[in-house]
Structure 1
Amino acid sequence: MAQEIERKFLVKSDVFKAKSFKNTKIVQGFLSTVPERTVRVRIKDDKGFITVKGISNQSGTSRYEWEKEISVEDAVDLLKISEPGVIEKTRFHVKSGNHIFEVDEFYGTNEGLIVAEIELDSEGQSFLKPVWLGEEVTGQVKYFNSMLMKTPFKNW
C-alpha cells in the first residue's frame, strides 16, 4: 500500500509567494467523502487525476493514498456526478531546506484560508519551518479538503 505521511499548517502571511518556484490552479470535487475512503477527482492545470485516500491514523499524519492520472475530459465528467461543492485553489510549491511545502490558497467559499502541507518519509522526520508557517492543524478534520467542501471556511 502507498502510504502518505504529511503534516499540515496554517499560513501566517503571503510572503511564501515570493519564494514559490511553481504554482498550479486546482479544481476538485469528491465522489465519496466517507471517512474510511475519500475518492477525489481533480484537475490540475491541464491534467486530470482520481485519488483514493484511506482513513488517517490516530495522529492524522499518515494514511493510504492511491492516485492515477486520467484525461481532463473524464475528470470534468466525474466532477458533474460528484458530491455537491467544489474546491478551487492555487497550489504554490515552496522549498524549505530539503523539503517542499505545498501551500494552498483557497477561493470561492473558502476564500481567506491558506494551508501548507509537507510530505515526509516518516512521522518523526524533522524539517525546517519557514517563518510564514503558523499553527499546526495536522489531523484536524475541518481542514480536510473533503470537509471544506461540506463546511466551507466562510461558514466557520
Structure 2
Amino acid sequence: MEHLEIERKFLVKSEAYKNEAITKTRIVQGFLNTDPKRTVRVRIHGEKGSVTVKGESNESGTTRFEWETGIGLHEATNLIDLCEGFILEKIRYEIPFEGHLFEVDEFLAENKGLIVAEIELKHEDEVFKKPDWLGDEVTGEVQYYNAQLTKKPYKQWQ
C-alpha cells in the first residue's frame, strides 16, 4: 500500500498510557537500507511480517512517501538476519484519544529506556488534543528515527 505518511513524534513522560491502551504488540524490526533518501524496513509485528520502503522526510520531518506490503513470517525472519546494525525490539501500545490514535513504542534491548509516541495525521497542520502523558515533541529530530536507532542506539547517547 502506497501513501504519504504524515506523523508527529513525541517523547512520553509517564507510563499512564498503558492504562489507556487497546492493544499491546511485540515488534522486531531491522533495516536493509538506512539511506536518508530511502529506507527499507523489515518488520515482524506479532505474527505478521512486512516490508516497508520510506522516502526522504520533508523539511519539517512530518511527511514522507511510504509503501508497505505484507510478507510471510518465515520470509520476514530470514530478511531480518540480513539487516544492518542493531535489530530493534519494542512493545507497541495503541491508544485512542480524542478522535486520534497514538502509537507508543516502548523500546527494549539496546534502546531500553526510550519511549516514543507517534500520531498519524491527515494533513500537516491538523489540530489534535494531547494526552497528559505526552512529553516534548521530537518530530524531525533524526536521532529518534528507527533507522538511526539501529546505528546509534539510545544506550549509547550518554
TM-score normalised by length of structure 1:
0.99
Q: Hey, what's the Cα distance between the residues in 2 that align with 1:20 and 1:2?
A: 26
Residue 96 (structure 1) shift? 0.8
Q: Hey, what's the Cα distance between the residues in 1 that align with 2:32 and 2:150?
A: 12
Deviations 1:108-147 (A, max 9, x none): 0100000000000000000110000000000000000000
- For residues 75-94 of structure 1, the aligned pairs below 5 Å read 75-94=76-95
Match of residue 19 from structure 1:
20
Count of equivalent residues: 156
Deviations 1:70-118 (A, max 9, x none): 0010001111111121000000000110100000000001000000000
- For residues 125-136 of structure 1, the aligned pairs below 5 Å read 125-136=126-137
Q: Hey, what's the Cα distance between the residues in 1 that align with 2:81 and 2:129?
A: 40
TM-score normalised by length of structure 2:
0.97
Deviations 1:21-61 (A, max 9, x none): 11110000000000110000000010000000000000000
Which ranges in structure 1 are unaligned for 5 or more consecutive residues? none
**% same residue:** 54
| Larger CA deviation: 141-150 vs 76-85 | 76-85
Q: Hey, what's the Cα distance between the residues in 1 that align with 2:85 and 2:13?
A: 30
Q: What amino acid does structure 1 have at the position aligned with 2:103?
A: E
Which ranges in structure 2 are unaligned for 5 or more consecutive residues? none
Give the secondary structure class of the aligned counterpart of 1:124: coil
Match of residue 59 from structure 1:
60
Q: What amino acid does structure 2 have at the position aligned with 1:133?
A: L
Match of residue 122 from structure 2:
121
Q: Which runs of 4+ in 1 moved over 2 A?
A: none
Q: What amino acid does structure 2 have at the position aligned with 1:91?
A: R
Q: Hey, what's the Cα distance between the residues in 2 that align with 1:87 and 1:58?
A: 26
